Amino acid sequence: MPRSVRVTGWGAHAPETVLTNADLERIVETSDEWIASRTGIRERRIAGRDETTATLAATAGLRAIATAGLDPDEIDLIIVATLTPDYPMPATAILVKELIGNRRAAAFDVAAACSGFAYGYATADSFVRAGAARHALVVGAETLSRVTDFTDRNTCVLFGDGAGAVVLSASDAEGGGMAGLELTADPGGCELLWIPSGGSRRPVSPGTLARGEHTIRMDGRETYRYATRTLAASAEAAIARAGWTTADVDLVIPHQANIRIIDSVARSLGYPMERVFVNLDRYGNTSAASVGIALAEAVGTGRVQVGDRIVIVAFGAGYTSGAIALEWTADPAASARAAAIPPVRFAHPGDGGTDEDPVPAVLRPILAAAAAAAT
């Protein structure tokens, strides 16, 4: 049995094409001023035709494996947290296994919406702690642009695409890694933040499609209320389980949903904003990917040092929440190794040869303009 389970690798990836608030002004009745002041979001990324949740996850995963100094085949467990899998079946983690060139790993998905990265991390940590895996890859990955209703200004300004990953490894050294965990699930939120159709209760049909029920539906105010209450409580519970006090924490990495939610959580915990990592202005809410992207950026930009005590904390549909208090042990300089990993593109596996464009029609001109500008 290992003495500890440590983060040895981290990586992130987001599609190149940027969807700005100005772009959204041309799609729905909104303004840059409204979006920036109510959410803090200025732009987000959108996946192109040859990008899916699996390709974004594979790129972030390969970057995490590179920072860990491992070969992809040394990974023996792959967990992908997502609410936008490539297919209802098989699990996106299986596609990621193929894309990264791994032949050995067990692979499955975790469905906990925006709390998915914390749920996935906790699951992988348990496998490694129990001796069932030596190196586990955890990826939070989303292509939310494919399930966003671009006629609904209440939701379409919030979400973006991307992926963030960590490698958790068994270690013979004492300490480090996850010290405290809190996971919650409150079914009271089931129909307040959801995608109504596409499952066994309401299969996709002409009727559900016409009503847009295959896209995200949200009660923004209720979700906001839940988030502000729960994020701080979950973080405090994980900190207490670690045997720390809030004063011991060097950096909080919250789910990047809304700057006003993050401000309120920081105030509840008594932290100045310098102790809270924020990048939602550039990515929007990437659901299960958000904390993973933020963690990789925090380490890559020098915000995390060996010995630092970090709290990652997320909330999402369910409602769910997840908080992990962890001690950082890896050399942040390894971040540089991720730069050598180029984006993985969709390889058209045996899916019947469909060449339907998965990108929502309203986004295609933006992707085309970005592609034209790049050549």
Ligand X SMILES: CC(C)(COP(=O)(O)OP(=O)(O)OC[C@H]1O[C@@H](n2cnc3c(N)ncnc32)[C@H](O)[C@@H]1OP(=O)(O)O)[C@@H](O)C(=O)NCCC(=O)NCCS
Residues marked active site are found at: 114, 255, 285
Token pair 């020098």: residue: 302
| Token reading at 233 | 């409580």
User: How far is Cα of residue 94 from the mean position of the Cα atoms in its chain?
Assistant: 18
- Closest distance of CB 11 from ligand X, Å: 23
List the one residue from 8, 17, 39, 171 that touches ligand X (CB under 6 A): 39
- Closest distance of CB 82 from ligand X, Å: 14
- Closest distance of CB 261 from ligand X, Å: 6
Contacts of 221 (CB under 8 A, 6+ apart): none
Whether 67 and 10 have beta carbons less than 8 Å apart is answered as yes
21 interacts with ligand X by CB under 6 A? no
* CA separation for the pair 70, 170 (Å, rounded): 13
List the one residue from 58, 114, 144, 235 that touches ligand X (CB under 6 A): 114
Per-residue string for binding with ligand X, 194-233, x by CB under 6 A?
Answer: ------------------------x-xx-xx--x------
Whether 127 and 133 have beta carbons less than 8 Å apart is answered as yes
List the one residue from 2, 18, 30, 268 that touches ligand X (CB under 6 A): 30
**Residue with Cβ nearer ligand X (153 or 202):** 153
* CA separation for the pair 268, 320 (Å, rounded): 19
257 interacts with ligand X by CB under 6 A? yes
- Closest distance of CB 227 from ligand X, Å: 6
List the one residue from 20, 32, 34, 208 that touches ligand X (CB under 6 A): 34
Compute φ and ψ for 203, nearest 5 degrees: -55, 155
32-39 helix and 259-269 helix, angle to the nearest 10 degrees = 20
364 interacts with ligand X by CB under 6 A? no
261-269: which pairs have CB atoms within 8 A and are 24 or more residues apart? 261/224, 261/227, 261/228, 261/231, 262/40, 264/228, 264/232, 265/228, 265/231, 265/232, 265/235, 265/313, 268/228, 268/232, 269/232, 269/235, 269/236
Per-residue string for binding with ligand X, 267-296, x by CB under 6 A?
Answer: ------------------x-----------
258 interacts with ligand X by CB under 6 A? yes
**Residue with Cβ nearer ligand X (17 or 223):** 223
Whether 300 and 335 have beta carbons less than 8 Å apart is answered as yes
42 interacts with ligand X by CB under 6 A? no
* CA separation for the pair 272, 282 (Å, rounded): 21
**Residue with Cβ nearer ligand X (29 or 355):** 29
Number of residues that bind ligand X (CB under 6 A): 21
HSE at residue 54, side-chain half, CA atoms within 13 A, is 26
Span interacting with ligand X, options 33-41, 196-204, 246-254, 273-281, rule CB under 6 A: 33-41
- Closest distance of CB 158 from ligand X, Å: 6
**Residue with Cβ nearer ligand X (39 or 92):** 39
List the one residue from 157, 168, 295, 299 that touches ligand X (CB under 6 A): 157
Task: Name the residue with the smallest CB distance to ligand X.
Answer: 220
Contacts of 340 (CB under 8 A, 6+ apart): 66
Handedness of CA 195, 200, 203, 208 (dihedral sign): negative
**Which residues sit at the interface with ligand X, rule CB under 6 A?**
30, 34-35, 38-39, 114, 153-154, 157-158, 193, 218, 220-221, 223-224, 227, 257-258, 285, 316
